[in-house]
Amino acid sequence: MNIVDELGRPLRDLRLSVIDRCNFRCTYCMPREVFDAHYPFMPSSDRLSFDQLHKIARAFASLGVEKIRITGGEPLLRRGIERLIERIATLTTLSGKPMEIALTTNASLLAAKARSLRDAGLGRVTVSLDAVDDAVFRRMSDADVPVSQVLGGIEAACAVGLAPVKVNAVIERGVNDDQILPLVRLFKHTHVALRFIEYMDVGGASDWSSAKVFTAQQARHTIESEFPLVAITGQDPSGTAVNYRHADGIGEVGFIASVSAPFCGSCSRARVSADGQLYTCLFSTHGTDLQPWLSDTASVEQLADAVRGRWTRRNDRYSELRSARRAQEPRKAYPTVRMSLVGG
């Protein structure tokens, strides 16, 4: 049955992390000075098995979830990820529709896996790409991977029908705000949905400040200096992006304004980390351990009851309270859980 939290928000989306490791060291997510060669990542023995991950997916489906997004870390580093997708693809929603399955990736490994992912039942992918200039890209990702490799992954995903492919770019003032127009030019005449995300104070962004935020409005004005945009009406109120169409009818762009225009009031997303912790907000400082219900002796229904009990007590709205909270408790509640553990 459908459930809602204390603010009346339904549970519709599950972000299921399969690994906390990544082959990039993006400065706003996994800065190398923290996530170095000695960082104690989760050993493979502590990660949830595919049986446990599938059990979680079944429980959430019974509670009204309509979309499951596979995340990490970098989920394509999880060996045999296609087997998990095959199992989740057999699930249906409460309304009887096939479960929507998506995956977020840095696309460095996507070219080789796009077809097998699609054949397993993956519906679409979202690629994190913050720059098209190779020097800027390498500086932000802090990895020995050329941007051409990521672009090749996007092309492969489009070619096999993992559509619509979405590209998310986190814009940090003075770092890559000069990449907004090049990104638009690159993807305008493709079927790729491009979205710009405000730089957030998520776990990993230890030196975050509001001065580094290049707002969604500023990004839109930057684009409109070359490409007029028209707002799209009738958008999904639970979506994170506000989408615009190019005035000439060719292509779309979206803006995720989680800092300047928070959308906590419509948030329907839960996150489960690779070690079985349930987080009800991206900015959570602690989770709810689901491990007691992931053993063979506990049923899917018992697991669903545990999730229901936590969700119905949910009242998170960090982004709406960000300014006041930081003013009152500038460091008390930080850092939040690292984003590489729970996904974006």
pLDDT at 320: 79
pLDDT at 332: 46
Predicted confidence (pLDDT) per residue in 123-155, tens digit: 999 999 999 999 999 999 999 999 999 999 999
Q: Does the annotation place 104 within a ligand binding site?
A: yes
Predicted confidence (pLDDT) per residue in 38-75, tens digit: 999 999 999 999 999 999 999 999 999 999 999 999 99
Q: Does the annotation place 204 within a ligand binding site?
A: no
Residue 244 burial (CB < 10 Å; 0-12/13-18/19+)? buried
Q: Does the annotation place 15 within a ligand binding site?
A: yes
| In contact, 262 and 320? CB cutoff 8 Å | yes
| In contact, 155 and 112? CB cutoff 8 Å | no
Q: Does the annotation place 80 within a ligand binding site?
A: no
Q: Does the annotation place 140 within a ligand binding site?
A: no
pTM of the predicted model as reported, rounded to 2 decimal places: 0.93
Residues in a beta bridge with 102: 69, 124
Q: Does the annotation place 281 within a ligand binding site?
A: yes
pLDDT at 281 over 60: yes
Please give the domain boundaries of the chain with CATH numbers for all domains. 13-342 (3.20.20.70)
Q: Does the annotation place 312 within a ligand binding site?
A: no
Q: Does the annotation place 269 within a ligand binding site?
A: yes
Predicted confidence (pLDDT) per residue in 99-126, tens digit: 999 999 999 999 999 999 999 999 999 9
Phi first, then psi, for residue 327 (nearest 5°) are -70, -40
